[in-house]
Amino acid sequence: MTKYISVVILTVLAVVSLQVQNACSGQLQRSVNLVGLWSNRVPSTNSAGEPCPFTPETLEFYKDQTVAMPEFGSQHLPYKTALTKDERTSAEKRFPALKGKNILLILPNPSMNWYNTPMAYSYAIRKNELTLILQNWSPAKFSRKSS
């Protein structure tokens, strides 16, 4: 009987350990250092050369995981780069060009959730240059302003 109980306990521990491991693997990406003021130096355009209305002139990212953009006045919007597996899947389903890329999500309205935000960008950071790409638009390039 004790052998049976030991097998059951070990099985339960293995299952719980696997579930914890799977839950944690949803946050594989770590947050990146976007903190600071970024100025747009190469505007994003569509195929007709028209400027993208969704990439601002400046972005200021804060340590509290919020971003300020001139279009939103003094309001700070929550942003996220370390996505759960479900958030990533949702963004890639809505915006196929994001598949396999680094993703930046911004909530334009605090009552929205990360799964439905329309502000989903592919991003890359090299030294002091931030590249943001929106599906169907050319890349926008931002330079980090020194403080």
Closest CA to 68 of 52, 79, 53: 79
What CA dihedral angle connects 87, 89, 90 and 91, to 10 degrees? 90
Strand partners, 120: 105
How far, in Å, CA of 105 to CA of 88, rounded?
Answer: 10
pLDDT score at 54: 86
**CATH classification at residue 46:** 2.40.128
Question: What is the pLDDT confidence band of residue 147, given thresholds at 50, 70 and 90?
Answer: low
- Phi first, then psi, for residue 88 (nearest 5°) are -60, -45
Question: Model confidence over 44-62: pLDDT tens digits?
Answer: 999 999 999 888 999 999 9
Is residue 22 in some structural domain?
no
Q: Which amino acid is at 51?
A: P
Is residue 16 in some structural domain?
no
- Phi first, then psi, for residue 70 (nearest 5°) are -55, -35
Query: What is the pTM assigned to this prediction?
Result: 0.75
Is residue 44 in some structural domain?
yes
Average pLDDT, the chain: 82
How far, in Å, CA of 46 to CA of 111, rounded?
Answer: 30
How much of the chain, in percent, has pLDDT values that exceed 70? 78
pLDDT score at 98: 95
Q: Which two tokens stand for residue 113?
A: 């959730």
In this predicted structure, the answer to whether residue 18 has a pLDDT above a threshold of 50 is no
How far, in Å, CA of 137 to CA of 102, rounded?
Answer: 17
Is residue 104 in some structural domain?
yes
Is residue 3 in some structural domain?
no
Half-sphere exposure of 29 (CA within 13 A, CB side): 17
Is residue 71 in some structural domain?
yes
Asked whether the beta carbons of 113 and 99 are under 8 A apart, the reply is: no
pLDDT score at 120: 95
Question: What is the pLDDT confidence band of residue 33, given thresholds at 50, 70 and 90?
Answer: confident
Asked whether the beta carbons of 132 and 69 are under 8 A apart, the reply is: no
Q: How many separate domains does the chain show?
A: 1
pLDDT score at 110: 82
Question: Model confidence over 106-135: pLDDT tens digits?
Answer: 999 989 999 999 999 999 999 899 999 998
Q: Range of 108's domain? A: 29-145
Is residue 120 in some structural domain?
yes
Question: Model confidence over 63-109: pLDDT tens digits?
Answer: 999 999 998 899 999 999 999 999 999 999 999 999 999 999 999 99
Q: Which two tokens stand for residue 108?
A: 């334009």
Is residue 19 in some structural domain?
no
